[in-house]
């Protein structure tokens, strides 16, 4: 990357201004790996090296509204990259912790359709760079005033807006957390609630696309980037490769025709005879599915093109798009059913669950808790206050497969048998904990202290378990009195185990 820098010099050096323009190189980290290597014969590390002329493109074009919308509507890949994350983040939702007011809070969220509003605002944010939910809070104050949480009568509505309808007012506060937003009406709102020109930031929930730091927000007018911005170059390369491959298939076989003296006929201008001959060849291929040629003067063949390596190139371009989208392959490029159970398919499940959890925590959590405080603080429909420990736990989207459920149940069964054999658990505890509810239980609930068992019952239980072993001992060469001795030894061992387990 070539830059220019003015350095002070003496006036008598030829520059009356006292400044001389000097060029210097600043290739940054891109060529650090090559900085210690050079070869004048091959050009490596010199001015003849093509890599030495690689620089950072500072003229990146910011995609405009119509361009973003066109890409979203015309490209299924872009639609998935924008919409899938907010949609899947709301599928399982989660559970409120609201000091016993969880059902009330869930009912208020349903009334305002908070769940669908988060999906819409999140999609708008990823599409345009910023999406918003404006809460219609009735606290007796105008919209340009901060919310008085102790005076909220009701939250009337929750309206979703894009960055083209709501603009951060950079003259108040900072762009990442402005004191005010400026509302621009572009169409008639169906909910019938009118919004003023100026809205206080405490009444707005913000959902960004590609997050930008404050320094870059000052350059973009206060807006974050659309996620499409970073995807565009990778999409362009991938779609171009697909289009080029499709065009190549149309010319997979190229018909080649040789005619003796062809160049002379062309030079003589006898093109009419050539056209008639070509027409007759085409008609013959269409009618009789073959060619009739002069064996001495004509020759025809088909030249097949070699597409080796094209699939690998397209795969690499897919990987570049996947890396830019930060989404699993299975979500962007639908695979076969067998691939879903492969090692990579299982890895995609965990990766996607992590993506959703990060998005929920980073972009949605604070907005949802703020909305929950406002809804609980309502006098109409709320409780007039909100608990200090108000919380929300997201339900994981990672669900076990039937095979994983069966494997875990088998492992639990083996563990339960070992514990019951050692006297740690009772069969009734295992039965009630595992199968006493509508769903299989993963935890064992102890049912108080273990009851004291009389010695006579211990002896009877031991005999009941050991009598079937009599045939085994006899087959092993024990006499009847030998079996009795063995039975007594096992009874004593069983008695000690049960005694230890019951604090005998």
Q: Show the 3-state SS of 52-110.
A: HHCCCCCCCCCCCHHHHHHHHHHCHHHHHHHHHHHHHHCCCCEEEECCCCHHHHHHHHH
Q: 51 near 39, Cβ under 8 Å?
A: no
The DSSP line for 414-475 is HHHHHHHHTTSS-HHHHHHHHHSSSS--SSPPP-SSPPP--HHHHHHHHHHHHGGGHHHHHH
Select from 69, 49, 68, 156 the least CA-distant residue to 112.
156
Select from 234, 251, 210, 407 the least CA-distant residue to 324.
234
Structural tokens at position 240: 């171009």
CA within 13 Å, CB half, 305: 13
Which pLDDT does position 488 carry in this prediction?
65
Question: What is the band of 16 on the pLDDT scale with cuts at 50, 70, 90?
Answer: very low
CA 276-278-284 angle, to 5 degrees, is 100
Residue 377, SS3 per DSSP? coil
Contacts of 86 (CB under 8 A, 6+ apart): 118, 119, 122, 123, 126, 359
pLDDT above 80 (res 236) = yes
Which pLDDT does position 19 carry in this prediction?
44
Which pLDDT does position 494 carry in this prediction?
59
Distance, in Å, from the CA atom of 81 to the CA atom of 327, rounded to the nearest integer, reads 8
Structural tokens at position 395: 């339900």
Which pLDDT does position 337 carry in this prediction?
42
Structural tokens at position 59: 């003229």
Q: 370 near 205, Cβ under 8 Å?
A: yes
Select from 83, 226, 231 the least CA-distant residue to 164.
226
Which pLDDT does position 55 carry in this prediction?
75
pLDDT above 90 (res 7) = no
User: What is the rounded average pLDDT of the residues 289-305?
Assistant: 74
More confident residue, 191 or 211: 211
Question: What is the band of 455 on the pLDDT scale with cuts at 50, 70, 90?
Answer: low
Mean pLDDT of the chain: 80
Top mean pLDDT of 29-33, 68-72, 301-305 is at 68-72
Contacts of 67 (CB under 8 A, 6+ apart): none
Question: How confident is the model over 375-433, as pLDDT tens digits?
Answer: 999 999 999 998 888 999 999 888 777 887 888 888 988 998 888 887 788 888 888 88
Tell me which of 28-32, 132-136, 435-439 is least confident. 28-32
User: What is the rounded average pLDDT of the residues 79-93?
Assistant: 95
- Sign of the dihedral defined by the CA atoms of residues 203, 207, 208, 212, in that order: positive
- 226 to each of 47, 130, 371, 444, how far by Cα in Å? 38, 8, 25, 49
Structural tokens at position 415: 């563990």
Using DSSP bridges, classify how beta strands 94-97 and 391-394 pair: parallel, antiparallel or unpaired.
antiparallel
Distance, in Å, from the CA atom of 466 to the CA atom of 252, rounded to the nearest integer, reads 79
Contacts of 25 (CB under 8 A, 6+ apart): 1, 2, 3
Contacts of 190 (CB under 8 A, 6+ apart): none
Question: How confident is the model over 341-388, as pLDDT tens digits?
Answer: 455 667 888 899 999 999 999 999 999 999 999 999 999 999 999 888
% of the chain residues with pLDDT over 70:
76
% of the chain residues with pLDDT over 90:
39
Q: 384 near 378, Cβ under 8 Å?
A: yes
pLDDT above 80 (res 108) = yes
Which pLDDT does position 435 carry in this prediction?
86
CA within 13 Å, CB half, 83: 12
Tell me which of 182-186, 297-301, 481-485 is least confident. 481-485
Q: 39 near 14, Cβ under 8 Å?
A: no
Select from 91, 77, 78 the least CA-distant residue to 357.
91
Question: What is the band of 6 on the pLDDT scale with cuts at 50, 70, 90?
Answer: very low
Which pLDDT does position 504 carry in this prediction?
37
Q: 115 near 92, Cβ under 8 Å?
A: no
More confident residue, 474 or 208: 208
Q: Which residues of 79-98 are buried (b: 16+ CB within 10 A; e: fewer)?
A: ebbbbbbbebbbeebbebbb
Which pLDDT does position 485 carry in this prediction?
64
Question: How confident is the model over 314-341, as pLDDT tens digits?
Answer: 899 999 999 999 999 989 987 544 454 4
User: What is the rounded average pLDDT of the residues 51-55?
Assistant: 73
What are the backbone angles phi and psi of residue 8, rounded to the nearest 5°? -70, 135
Question: How confident is the model over 244-279, as pLDDT tens digits?
Answer: 888 777 777 777 777 777 777 777 777 787 788 778
Question: What is the band of 489 on the pLDDT scale with cuts at 50, 70, 90?
Answer: low
Select from 449, 461, 455, 459 the least CA-distant residue to 502.
449
- Looking up tokens 């509302």 gives 183
Which pLDDT does position 9 carry in this prediction?
44
């Amino acid at each position: 990357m070539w830059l220019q820098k003015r350095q002070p010099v003496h006036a008598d050096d030829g520059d009356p201004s006292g400044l001389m323009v000097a060029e210097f190189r600043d290739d940054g980290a891109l060529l650090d790996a090559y900085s210690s290597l050079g070869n004048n014969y091959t050009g490596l590390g010199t001015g003849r090296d093509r890599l030495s002329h690689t620089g950072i493109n500072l003229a990146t074009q910011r995609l405009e509204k119509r361009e973003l919308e066109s890409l979203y509507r015309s490209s299924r890949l872009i639609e998935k990259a924008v919409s899938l994350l907010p949609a899947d983040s709301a599928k399982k939702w989660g559970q409120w912790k609201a000091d016993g007011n969880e059902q009330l809070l869930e009912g208020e969220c349903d009334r305002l359709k908070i769940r669908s509003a988060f999906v819409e605002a999140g999609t708008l944010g990823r599409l345009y760079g910023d999406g918003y939910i404006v809460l219609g809070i009735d606290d007796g104050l105008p919209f340009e005033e901060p919310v008085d949480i102790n005076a909220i009568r009701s939250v009337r509505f929750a309206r979703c807006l894009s960055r083209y309808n709501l603009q951060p007012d950079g003259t108040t506060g900072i762009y990442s957390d402005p004191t005010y937003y400026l509302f621009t009406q572009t169409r008639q709102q169906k909910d019938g609630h009118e919004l003023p020109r100026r809205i206080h930031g405490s009444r707005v929930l913000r959902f960004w696309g590609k997050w930008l730091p404050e320094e870059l927000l000052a350059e973009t007018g206060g807006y974050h980037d659309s996620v499409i911005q970073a995807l565009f170059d990778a999409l362009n390369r991938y779609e171009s490769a697909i289009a080029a491959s499709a065009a190549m298939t149309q010319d997979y076989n190229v018909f080649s025709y040789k005619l003796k003296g062809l160049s002379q006929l062309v030079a003589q201008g006898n093109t009419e005879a050539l056209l008639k001959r070509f027409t007759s060849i085409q008609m013959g291929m269409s009618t009789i599915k073959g060619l009739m040629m002069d064996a001495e003067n004509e020759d025809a063949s088909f030249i097949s093109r070699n597409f080796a390596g094209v699939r690998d190139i397209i795969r690499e371009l897919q990987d570049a798009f996947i890396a830019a989208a930060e989404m699993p392959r299975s979500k962007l490029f639908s695979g076969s059913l067998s691939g879903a159970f492969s090692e990579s398919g299982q890895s995609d499940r965990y990766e996607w669950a992590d993506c959703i959890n990060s998005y929920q925590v980073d972009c949605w959590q604070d907005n949802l808790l703020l909305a929950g405080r406002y809804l609980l603080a309502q006098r109409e429909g709320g409780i007039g206050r909100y608990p200090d420990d108000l919380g929300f736990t997201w339900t994981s989207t990672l669900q076990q497969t039937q095979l994983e459920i069966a494997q875990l149940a088998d492992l639990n069964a083996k563990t339960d048998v070992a514990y019951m054999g050692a006297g740690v658990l009772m069969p009734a505890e295992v039965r009630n904990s595992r199968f006493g509810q509508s769903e299989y239980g993963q935890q064992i609930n102890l049912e108080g202290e273990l009851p004291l068992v009389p010695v006579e019952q211990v002896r009877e239980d031991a005999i009941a378990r050991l009598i079937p072993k009599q045939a085994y001992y006899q087959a092993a060469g024990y006499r009847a009195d030998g079996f009795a001795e063995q039975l007594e030894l096992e009874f004593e061992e069983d008695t000690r185990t049960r005694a230890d387990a019951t604090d005998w």
